[in-house]
Structure 1
Amino acid sequence: MFNRSILIVLVIALAAGLGLVASQRWFGRNDAPPRPELQTVRLFPQARELPPFALQQSDGTQLVPGELHGHWTLVFLGFTHCPDVCPTTLADLSRAQKEWEALPEARRPRVLFVSVDPERDSPDRIGEYAAFFHRDTLAATADIPSLEAFARSLSLVFMKVPGPDGAPEDAYTIDHSAALAVLDPEGRMAGVVQAPLEPAAIAADLTALTGEVLQ
């Protein structure tokens, strides 16, 4: 028979083992790959799945969740009549895109510009607008209910603002989030980049997330 001292040691060892298992489940597995240190991308503790969506791309094809798999993606809401925030943001993002152009296309980060002004922004128009800043920028839009649901799933907002009294009906503007949503290679909402944007930091962070190294 075990004596009392040995039994106590065994109980303590068992308790310690159970505590180690619990701590690994609570704080994460010890063998989980560490997250890279990031400068401007803020990742959430847990990425979240997006509800189904369908946007119309500039080439006329549909953009559905599966299309965004395999790449880290930055999503920006805007519109082509935007006087300041949109062109400034896309210009900043184009500088980041130029820094990661040398990365393999299969893993290269993506930028998705989503127009929240379908009344004035046709697929052709948004395609030309996005490509003016960088040829790799994806562009898409949809009807207002679909856009509202998509924006809400990314914790982003937009709102139509009428023009001044007496102005033409199409002289409205649109208030919208200036932040970028960050989607992981599984198409989940993984984080955010807040304005003001720093192109070099964005390029470094997205490259680090892909596991690649800029030359």
Structure 2
Amino acid sequence: MAYCRCLTPAANQMLVLVSRQSPPYCSIRTMFVSTRRPHKALLKTLHASRRRPSVIRWQSQSAPKKRLLNITPQSLLVAALITGMVAAVYIWLEWKKFVHQAGGRIAALSDSGIGTLNWTLTDQNGKRREYAEFRGQWLILYFGFTHCPDICPEELEKLVEVVEGIDGNPSTPDIQPIFITLDPGRDTVEYMHKYCKDFSPKLIGFTGTTEEIDTVAKSFKTYYSLGEKDEDGDYIVDHTILMYLINPDGKIVDVYDKSAKADGIIRGSIKHISEHEKLRRKTFLPF
């Protein structure tokens, strides 16, 4: 705060106070005081002006904001084309990955030669039927023998439970259960008819000559061996305990051992059926 003294004709002193502020905010305070008795208001003003810091106020005009994005119909079209191309490449890569995983497993089983023989056996009604007759259907196949005391009945019950679970799913086609005996000497057509009927009317049982059964078992890489006969002429058949899931093309897509639970086989079978449908339509999209 700066001030100056000016003597007036009335013998009073004029004190001009000029604040150190930039225009247009400069203020001039003029006060008339007696030279003999300074005015109290002037003292207060001087005292306050020494403590109050000078304030510089700037008037700035903000620059106009620049537009960061210039959205036009052409830019939207370009963005849509780029997005479509990226989506197409992603779908193509996912499809190749899907085909490699799903088709690779089936190809590995097919290359091993498992279940590729077009066999001919006799069903429980005495009719000669070929394996090729079941093309176009999903099959689940099990090897065993009717005189088995425990394992075969349990596995056949599990097989029927799996068939009912898949048939009850509205999104999957029905599946055909097949039971092939490994003991053709005792499992005649009549015995097979009665045995299969006790489990499910859908179950188809097959028997044949020893040579025919041996050929089919070797085709599915199923091991079996007839045990020694006891005093009553009974014997046990040691064999591989497996269920084969076969697609409509006649190819094995999965194999389930004794440790597999029915619900797990159902989930796995439904997954394979869904994958086969996608491969058939050559797309994994739902439309």
Aligned-pair CA distance for 1:54: 0.6
Counterpart selection for 1:157 from 223, 226, 247: 223
Residue 75 of structure 2 is matched in structure 1 by: none
Deviations 1:164-206 (A, max 9, x none): 4xx13x3122111111123221112333111123111112222
Maintained 8 Å contact 2:197/2:203 = yes
Aligned-pair CA distance for 1:75: 1.4
Residue 163 of structure 2 is matched in structure 1 by: 97
Residue 115 of structure 1 is matched in structure 2 by: 181
Maintained 8 Å contact 2:245/2:269 = no
Aligned counterparts of 1:196 and 1:34: Cα–Cα separation in 2: 24
Residue 15 of structure 1 is matched in structure 2 by: none
Maintained 8 Å contact 1:109/1:206 = no
Residue 171 (1) aligns with residue 237 (2): no
SS in 2 for 1:74: strand
Residue 203 (1) aligns with residue 266 (2): yes
The alignment-based identity, stated in percent, is: 20
Unaligned runs of 5+ in 1: 1-23, 37-42
Aligned-pair CA distance for 1:144: 1.1
Q: How many residues align?
A: 176
| TM-score, with structure 1 as normaliser | 0.72
SS in 1 for 2:108: strand
Residue 46 (1) aligns with residue 112 (2): no
Aligned counterparts of 1:137 and 1:144: Cα–Cα separation in 2: 22
Counterpart selection for 2:257 from 187, 194, 201: 194
Kindly tell me: are residues 86 and 113 of structure 1, through their superposed partners in 2, closer, same or farther at Cα, counting changes over 3 Å? same
Q: Compute the RMSD of aligned alpha carbons.
A: 2.7
Deviations 1:117-145 (A, max 9, x none): 11111122212212211221111011111
Aligned-pair CA distance for 1:65: 2.1
- Between Structure 1 and Structure 2, whose CA radius of gyration is higher? 2
Aligned counterparts of 2:175 and 2:108: Cα–Cα separation in 1: 20
Residue 89 of structure 2 is matched in structure 1 by: none
| TM-score, with structure 2 as normaliser | 0.55
- My pick for the range that moved more, 195-204 or 83-92, is 195-204
Aligned counterparts of 1:34 and 1:192: Cα–Cα separation in 2: 16
Maintained 8 Å contact 1:183/1:189 = yes
